[in-house]
Structure 1
Amino acid sequence: MTSARDVVVTGLGATTPLGGDVPSTWEAALAGKSGARTMDNDWAERYEIPVNFAATIKVKPEEVLKRPELKRMDPSAQYAVIAAREAWKDAGEPEVAGERLGSVVSSGIGGVWTLLDGWDTLRERGARRLLPMTVPMLMPNSPTAFVSLDLGARAGAHALVSACASGAEAIGYGAEMIRSGRADVVVAGGTEATIHPMPIAAFAASRTLSLRNDDPEGASRPYDADRDGFVVGEGAAVVVLESAEHAAARGARVYARIGGVGLSSDAYHITSPDPDGTGQVAAMRGALEDAGATGADVVHVNAHATSTKVGDLTETASIRRLFGSDADHVQLSATKSMTGHLLGGAGALETVFTVKAIADRLAPPTINVANPDPELQVPLVRDEPAKLPGGDIAAINNSFGFGGHNVALLVQNA
């Protein structure tokens, strides 16, 4: 049963390394395809970067957007607008007053292409050659601002920045806007466009990237004993959230409900998770309590699972610690094995996957796990999708970020 301020998902949009929209992305994910590929450039050789591959966007923005739009938006905003337009259309373009429509689209890093290209222009050609739109293009709130302009959203345009948890936290904030009565409809999600030589070199310097240059498609391998780091990805994902009352009044198709939102912070280390998993447990418990659910209700978890040695196992230990024996019936998926790590867009894309898993009763597979880590504590969906049970079910999407940010979203069937 739903109440008037329950939050439902009525639209989905995405542009990812697997496809230019949600149907193609979801189809590729269920088929276990990888979006990682060798980059068509000379960055590795020119800058002595030890990584020459990434999960690059499948459909270029220039194939979708008009030239004037491309010129005034950083790629991070381009991806966000593409995803938001798909989600809005998928939701049936709901009729809602602008004062009751919100936009919450986050990015972990922001307009890095604009910032770094602008610095190059300044150094090489002087201040007069900088684009007049440089500042609006590089600011981290640019994606949500352009989405709000595109849709006429005037209930608020927000951009929460919490590193790799940004996209999930944006959806949680959007849900709270509806619950509190600030909005009836919110377009929420995350975006990232950091496949640029400097961020890749910086991640490589932090020793968090996989170095499998000879096997890009097999490089992202969460929970494999031989994992050696994550694969940088790019893209965006957006959901349309509505109050259940507003959706019912217009006869909208509902994919699922955002039943609970859990937030916490580790206060432990700037990049490493608390090895005890206390913050992760608190976020998941908060999502369960917010929804009035228990571990027995959860049949699926889309894990943060980036393919790092420590992070992957900390998360599964946290799931086991919270769920106890109920973890035995959880179908665990690590979809970054296919998409790479979209950073600020990851939590939003994985929320889309979680919503689709609940709606279609299918948990997507984890690929590249040839040698499962013996310390893995939760049943892992490998290579093929797993069927989820009928009846009332719930799933959790976990998103964690540098700085100790923890976000858990609980998704329930409509």
Structure 2
Amino acid sequence: MKRVVITGLGAITPIGNDVKLYWENLLRGVSGANMITRFDTDKFKTKFACELKGYSDVDYFERKEARKLDRFNQYGLIAATEAIGDAALDFSKLNTERIGVIFSSGIGGFETFEKEVINHVEGEFVSRFNPFFITKIISNALSGMISIRHGLRGVNYCPVTACASSTQSIIHAFNYIKWGKADIIITGGSEAPITASSIGGFNAMRAMSVNNENYKMASRPFDTHRDGFVVGEGAGSLIVESLDSALKRNVNIYAEIVGTGESSDAYHITGTHPEGEGAFLAMKNAIQEANVSTDQIDYINAHATSTEIGDLSEINAIKKLFASNLNKIQVSATKSMTGHLLGGTGAIEAIATCLSIMNDSIPPTINTKEIDVNIPKELNLSLGEKTVKTINYGISNSFGFGGHCAALLLKKYIE
């Protein structure tokens, strides 16, 4: 089996439009929440989200190209381009038949779909759709676009498992390389869900926070007064590569992927299992694959969306798996800053976990003031400010509607 490492990172997030700024603002505890500017929110219970700041498509694309791309396509292409540059990939010198793309989106071109249907029903040209309508909405178009842009002829597809999507993309990339079926995979996830239909739909489910008066602090994982998640947008991309390839290219290595876990709650279409059975299995499987013990895990970047059921479900899984060394585990919830990027969230959180391991610094959980009484007091939640700690192993968790559970175990790279 091949050893698998991460050699490039790219991100565009509500708290930074590149990896450097994203990481700096994570450590500073910056909230990405703002009042929604994209559409009129008068009819909606939730009036805020975590939008990108200072984003303009013409800063990245020619106008003609931008018109062919939904926001989720744009964000993913931007993140992938940064990751490719960061990994110093020169495709003219590599075997592109051994380079693939596995890149996710949970819901694809929601904004395009919404606008086109409204135009079809209410517009002057009721029978006319944009000729790029289909390629702007289908989730797999993004992985195809990355492949086409760079002439990459290896594996190319898009896992769709709601909010676990991009973590599963990374897991699948790991497996392809571990099994020797590819040398390099461009992986990650992208989402652009700040639309009227998305906000309306999540409001109808009572899943989102309605704390409009104090929106900067609305995403408060583990807090007694949390009232739902805050939606965010953006993308993350990682270059996952065999160690042999990375050493041959003599490039920087951020971390090594040593274990992965996938499972199902098999419980409810939207609600996580109260005892975290799926989350427990995913983390357990990742640790077993890595052939390490639970007391070697230093950090968990929790899925922790700031919902009552979801937060406690994950905590219960952590309690069960790490019962003998709970006080040694550091847990933090970066969604308190970025909001929830749905299908893109696993990628940006894998990046955060990777950088935490490399820099021995854990981003804080912000906004949490009164910890839920059901959370063990000995659990370290990294509240309020960054934690400086040697991190050799870190887990990134992602869970999606449908009961999809995914865990990624990263290790500090040692030559």
What range describes the TM-score normalised by the shorter chain of this pair?
over 0.9
Q: Is the 8 A contact 1:15 1:58 kept in 2?
A: no
Counterparts of 1:347 and 1:234, CA distance in 2: 12
* Structure 1 residue aligned with 2:53: 58
Q: CA deviation at 1:193?
A: 0.4
Equivalences for residues 12-411 of structure 1 within 5 A: 12-40=9-37, 43-45=40-42, 48-60=43-55, 61-94=57-90, 95-123=93-121, 124-126=123-125, 129-377=128-376, 378-389=379-390, 393-411=392-410
Q: Is the 8 A contact 1:194 1:234 kept in 2?
A: yes
Q: Is the 8 A contact 1:223 1:307 kept in 2?
A: yes
Match of 1:5 among 2, 7, 16: 2
CA change 1:93–1:42 in 2 (3 A) is: closer
Task: Tell me the SS of whatever aligns to 2:173.
Answer: helix
Q: Is the 8 A contact 1:19 1:59 kept in 2?
A: no
Q: CA deviation at 1:72?
A: 1.1
Task: Tell me the SS of whatever aligns to 1:20.
Answer: coil
Counterparts of 2:295 and 2:162, CA distance in 1: 30
Name structure 1 gaps, 5 residues minimum: none
Q: CA deviation at 1:5?
A: 1.1
Q: Is the 8 A contact 2:38 2:194 kept in 1?
A: no
| Letter paired with 2:31 | S
Q: CA deviation at 1:128?
A: 5.1
Cα deviation, 1:222-248, whole Å, max 9, x if unaligned, reads 011110001010000000010000000
Q: CA deviation at 1:40?
A: 2.3
Counterparts of 2:239 and 2:374, CA distance in 1: 38
Q: Percent identity?
A: 40
Q: CA deviation at 1:14?
A: 0.4
Number of matched residues? 407
Name structure 2 gaps, 5 residues minimum: none
Cα deviation, 1:251-274, whole Å, max 9, x if unaligned, reads 110000111110001111000011
RMSD over equivalenced CA pairs, Å = 1.2
| Letter paired with 2:46 | V
Q: CA deviation at 1:276?
A: 2.0
Task: Tell me the SS of whatever aligns to 1:43.
Answer: coil
Cα deviation, 1:174-224, whole Å, max 9, x if unaligned, reads 111111222100000011001011110100110011111111211100011
Greater CA drift, 62-71 or 15-24:
62-71
Counterparts of 1:322 and 1:41, CA distance in 2: 42
What TM-score, normalized by structure 1, do the two folds share? 0.96
Counterparts of 1:326 and 1:248, CA distance in 2: 36
| Letter paired with 1:206 | M
CA change 1:289–1:72 in 2 (3 A) is: same
Task: Tell me the SS of whatever aligns to 2:23.
Answer: helix
Task: Tell me the SS of whatever aligns to 1:373.
Answer: coil
Q: CA deviation at 1:278?
A: 1.4
Q: Is the 8 A contact 1:220 1:227 kept in 2?
A: yes
Task: Tell me the SS of whatever aligns to 1:103.
Answer: strand
Greater CA drift, 203-212 or 143-152:
143-152
Q: CA deviation at 1:64?
A: 2.2
